[in-house]
Amino acid sequence: MSAPIIAIDAMGGDFGPHSIVPACIACLAEFPSLHLVLVGQISLLNELIARHSGVDRARLHLEQASEVIAMDDRPAQALRSKPDSSMRVALELVRDGRAQACVSSGNTGALMALSRYLLKTLPGIDRPAMMTAIPTERGHCQLLDLGANVDCSAEHLYQFAVMGSVAAEALGVARPRIALLNVGTEDVKGNQQVKLAASLLQPVSELNYIGFIEGDGLYRGEADVVVCDGFVGNILLKSSEGLASMISARMEALFKQNLGSRLIGSLALAVLKRLQGELAPARHNGASFLGLQAIVVKSHGAARPEGFQSAIRRAVMEVREDLPQRLHGRLEHLLL
């Protein structure tokens, strides 16, 4: 396929271009065929790019945008009152065919609202869902929804399961195991929406639905795709990030308590660093907006360069797999 072209909202997130520019330059070195379009205040972007040597400017393009959507702006405000925001201009590049994907660490609600307005959803999809990878004992599972849809019907959960399954296949998982996150694994457990979603999934032989899963089963790697509403998914994601950081901090503190523990810590340092790397939120940063007619990846707002780089990697993979087209091809006969 042709070289991927990805539009970057360079002004979004807590650190804006100071974090995003280094991540973009690192990705250009990592992917020799990648082209990036950084959208934002060109004078500032040029100043930050100039601090790095050896940048391939033939593959790094700049697009002016005079406005920035703040992290606390309401989605309606972003839609109506900031027509020249870096987020909107980046999405318009995708809409107009000048880029194949958009990556932003900006306001999640605004990004979802603008994405739905500018890019539209795939036929049969009521609501896009946010999906990301969660580390497990066996590798990773894909979790959705992460917060885009706080209140969901059974039909929405069914759609999320279909989209998650197709996306997992694109990531190389053969016949992904799909589970609904629940308060128990028995058929009688759960609220009405989860029970109804299970009844919709069970008869579909093309989907490898394995039933309900609890939170501990998710981390044991008992499923490849775990489906829930956005309220539960967002709490689970943030709790996972906080737990990983707390364990890392506690282990480091324990190893520094006294001479004996420092000696033990020095022996275990390599293993500890590897564990920190595997669990670090930055390594798994990047949530896909599934169900749109084009690719949008949301980076964590507090992502440092390494984290934003992971989000760009996810966008590159989805462009290479032509994920929206794969979804469209499977949705026609799998949706209710």
Can you give the pLDDT at residue 22? 97
Write down which residue in 283, 303, 323 finishes a domain: 283
Q: Is 34 exposed, middle or buried (0-12, 13-18, 19+ CB in 10 A)?
A: buried
Write down which residue in 267, 283, 299 finishes a domain: 283
Can you give the pLDDT at residue 206? 92
Instruction: Answer for the pair 209, 201: CB distance below 8 angstroms, yes or no.
Output: yes
One domain, residues 136 and 279: yes
One domain, residues 306 and 227: no
**Overall domain count for the chain:** 2
One domain, residues 247 and 223: yes
One domain, residues 28 and 114: yes
CA 318 to CA 295: how far, in whole Å?
Answer: 7
Give per-residue pLDDT as tens, 304-330. 999 999 999 999 999 999 999 988 888
One domain, residues 145 and 116: no
Write down which residue in 245, 267, 283 finishes a domain: 283
Q: How far apart are the first and last CA of the chain?
A: 33
One domain, residues 266 and 309: no
Helix (H) or strand (E) holding 178, with range, is strand 177-181
Can you give the pLDDT at residue 229? 95
Q: Is beta strand 225-227 parallel, antiparallel or unpaired with respect to 139-144?
A: parallel
Instruction: Answer for the pair 205, 199: CB distance below 8 angstroms, yes or no.
Output: no
User: What pLDDT band is residue 138 in, cutting at 50, 70 and 90?
Assistant: confident
Can you give the pLDDT at residue 135? 87
CA 251 to CA 257: how far, in whole Å?
Answer: 10
Instruction: Answer for the pair 327, 122: CB distance below 8 angstroms, yes or no.
Output: yes
One domain, residues 153 and 209: yes
* CATH classification at residue 119: 3.40.718.10
One domain, residues 152 and 110: no
Can you give the pLDDT at residue 268? 64
Mean pLDDT of the chain: 90
**pLDDT for residue 27 is more than 80:** yes
One domain, residues 32 and 117: yes
What contacts 249, CB < 8 A, 6 or more positions away?
none
Could you give the strand order of the β-sheet that contains 60-64, starting from the edge strand earlier in sequence? 60-64, 35-40, 5-9, 101-104, 295-298, 287-290, 129-136, 139-144, 225-227, 177-181, 208-213
One domain, residues 175 and 296: no
Can you give the pLDDT at residue 277? 58
**pLDDT for residue 213 is more than 80:** yes
Give per-residue pLDDT as tens, 80-118. 999 999 999 999 999 999 999 999 999 999 999 999 999
Domain range for 51:
1-125+291-336
Mean pLDDT of 266-286: 62
- Angle at 167 (CA atoms; ends 162, 173), nearest 5 degrees: 105
Can you give the pLDDT at residue 3? 80
Q: Give the rounded percent of residues in the chain with a pLDDT score beyond 70.
A: 91
Of 31-40, 237-246, 279-288, which gets the smallest average pLDDT?
A: 279-288
One domain, residues 263 and 232: yes
Can you give the pLDDT at residue 119? 97
One domain, residues 146 and 254: yes
Nearest alpha carbon to residue 286 among 140, 166, 127, 159: 140
More confident residue, 211 or 244: 211
**pLDDT for residue 270 is more than 70:** no
Q: The whole model's pTM is what?
A: 0.88
Tokens of 326: 């794969």
User: What pLDDT band is residue 139 in, cutting at 50, 70 and 90?
Assistant: confident
Q: What Å distances lie between residue 99 and 2, 13, 21, 61, 73, CA to CA? A: 12, 21, 18, 11, 26
Can you give the pLDDT at residue 111? 95
**pLDDT for residue 2 is more than 80:** no
**pLDDT for residue 335 is more than 90:** no
**pLDDT for residue 287 is more than 80:** yes
